[in-house]
């Protein structure tokens, strides 16, 4: 795992390169969201194992996220009615343990967001829970997009730190063999 703050510093130093790379793949409205998601994915990966070449990892992650986003967007309107005959996923009920773990993770997430300042919490929840784009949040809350981006990043960092602290103190591991902790639902 990278030293505390090291991954953030590397991200900040290569953020303009990431933005440039992404701008060649996706529309400008989606760049900020993918940049943010790049940091999230890199941070999650760094929690699991040490990333030796963090800058390269972030650039590769950003490129893959942008390509996936572009592919989803391109295919969004190509579905025919025949594609919807079968459900896209198996429908089954979750086990009692899965339900309990899911509710436990959700409660931990709620406690983590409760400790955020009001403005940071609003931006963070609108982004991560409701899926608003940074531009939509900025318009809704009458803030600049830059402020929204900073609030979302701060909310993410503070929430992850809170959850890590709680899990460390309880002796539990955030990433179990079968369940991967994921803030974005």
Q: Across residues 134-163, what is the average pLDDT? A: 90
pLDDT value at 166 more than 90: no
pLDDT at residue 78, rounded to an integer:
52
pLDDT value at 182 more than 50: no
Highest mean pLDDT among 49-63, 73-87, 88-102, 161-175: 49-63
Per-residue tokens: 173:
């591991």
Distance CA 21, CA 174 (A): 32
Contacts by 176-179, CB closer than 8 A, 24 or more apart = 179/101
- Confidence bin at 51 (pLDDT 50/70/90): confident
Domains and CATH numbers, the chain: 6-74 (1.10.1740.10), 97-170 (1.10.10.10)
Global pTM value: 0.44
Per-residue tokens: 71:
């592919």
- SS3 string, 73-125, reads HHHCCCCCHHHHCCCCCCCCCCCHHHHHHHHHHHHHHHHHHHCCCHHHHHHHH
What b/e string do you get for 74-98 counting C-beta neighbours within 10 Å, with b at 16 or more? Answer: eeeeeeeeeeeeeeeeeeeeeeeee
Q: What is the pLDDT of residues 64-86, one digit of tens each?
A: 998 888 777 555 555 554 555 55
Per-residue tokens: 40:
């999230």
Distance CA 2, CA 30 (A): 28
- Confidence bin at 113 (pLDDT 50/70/90): confident
């Amino acid at each position: 795992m990278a030293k505390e703050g090291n991954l953030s510093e590397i991200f900040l130093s290569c953020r303009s390169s990431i933005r440039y790379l992404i701008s060649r793949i996706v529309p400008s409205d989606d760049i900020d969201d993918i940049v943010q998601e790049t940091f999230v994915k890199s941070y999650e990966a760094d929690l699991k194992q040490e990333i030796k070449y963090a800058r390269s990892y972030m650039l590769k992650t950003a490129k893959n996220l942008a390509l996936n986003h572009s592919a989803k967007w391109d295919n969004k309107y190509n579905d025919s009615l025949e594609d919807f005959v079968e459900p896209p996923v198996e429908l089954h009920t979750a086990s009692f343990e899965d339900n309990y773990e899911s509710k436990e993770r959700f409660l931990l997430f709620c406690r983590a967001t409760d400790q955020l300042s009001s403005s940071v919490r609003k931006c963070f929840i609108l982004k991560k829970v409701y899926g608003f784009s940074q531009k939509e949040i900025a318009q809704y809350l009458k803030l600049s997009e830059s402020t929204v981006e900073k609030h979302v990043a701060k909310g993410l960092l503070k929430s992850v730190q809170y959850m890590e602290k709680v899990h460390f103190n309880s002796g539990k591991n955030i990433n179990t063999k079968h369940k991967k902790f994921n803030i974005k639902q």
